[in-house]
Structure 1
Amino acid sequence: MLTNLDHLPGWRIREHKGLVQGSTVQSKHIGRDIFAGLKNIVGGELKGYTELLEEARNEALRRMMEQAKTAGANAVLNIRFATSTITPGAAEILAYGTAVIVEQEGV
């Protein structure tokens, strides 16, 4: 279970496993970069970059979930994303949250 909340309604935290994170560094494809330069002139969404960032977010999230699973967690709470430029043309996407074991309340 994944959430950006600090709790899951109807569930209680049984055990705290700590901070987990996943990241990836993605670079621009030269074709996307050329098209983006042209698009900057006329305006509009840079769909190639939108797709690139979506793929990077999904990969960072997948890596974070794998780290949580390895720690024995069944949920990650308070998930956040961060991004930073590594070099011109390359960016890091970081997903992080708190790994926990949760159980349904009343069980």
Structure 2
Amino acid sequence: MSLIVTMSDTVPGREIDSVVGVARGNVVRARFFGRDFVAGLRNLVGGEVPEYTKLLSETREQALDRMVRHGEELGADAIITFRLATSTVMEGTAEILAYGTAVKLK
């Protein structure tokens, strides 16, 4: 990543010059039957479902990458107050939204 991304409202050792907007990136992902079948079998015995862990991890990274690209388009040097949100769009799909405040640094 070329931008500084932080969950805090400051960048240590740097001063914020201006806010350029809200940077965001989202991904909507649907489940896949083959993965669901294997996950359903794992559900019978309990424990982690690594197929979904991997799917959500990849989706979070993609949303983060899109947010950073949006921050770059806004001309930001950093994105502060970074957050992730998840919502269900419809049965079997989930949206991951990455968002934060895009800022210019002095």
- The alignment's TM-score, normalised by the length of structure 2, stands at 0.93
| Unmatched runs of 5 consecutive residues or more in structure 2 | none
Measured against aligned partners, the alpha-carbon deviations of 1:39-98 in whole angstroms (never above 9, x if no partner) come to 111011111100110111011111111110001001000000000111111100000000
1:57 pairs with one of 57, 60, 63: 60
Question: In structure 1, what is the equivalent of residue 49 of structure 2?
Answer: 46
1:88 pairs with one of 74, 88, 91: 91
Count of aligned residue pairs for this structure pair: 103
For residues 30 and 50 of structure 2, the distance between their equivalents in structure 1, rounded to whole angstroms, comes to 15
Percent identity, aligned pairs only, is: 47
Give the RMSD, CA atoms, in angstroms.
0.8
- The alignment's TM-score, normalised by the length of structure 1, stands at 0.93
1:98 pairs with one of 88, 97, 101: 101
For residues 8 and 53 of structure 1, the distance between their equivalents in structure 2, rounded to whole angstroms, comes to 28
- Give the ranges of 4+ consecutive aligned residues of structure 1 lying more than 3 Å apart after TM superposition: none
Question: In structure 2, what is the equivalent of residue 19 of structure 1?
Answer: 22
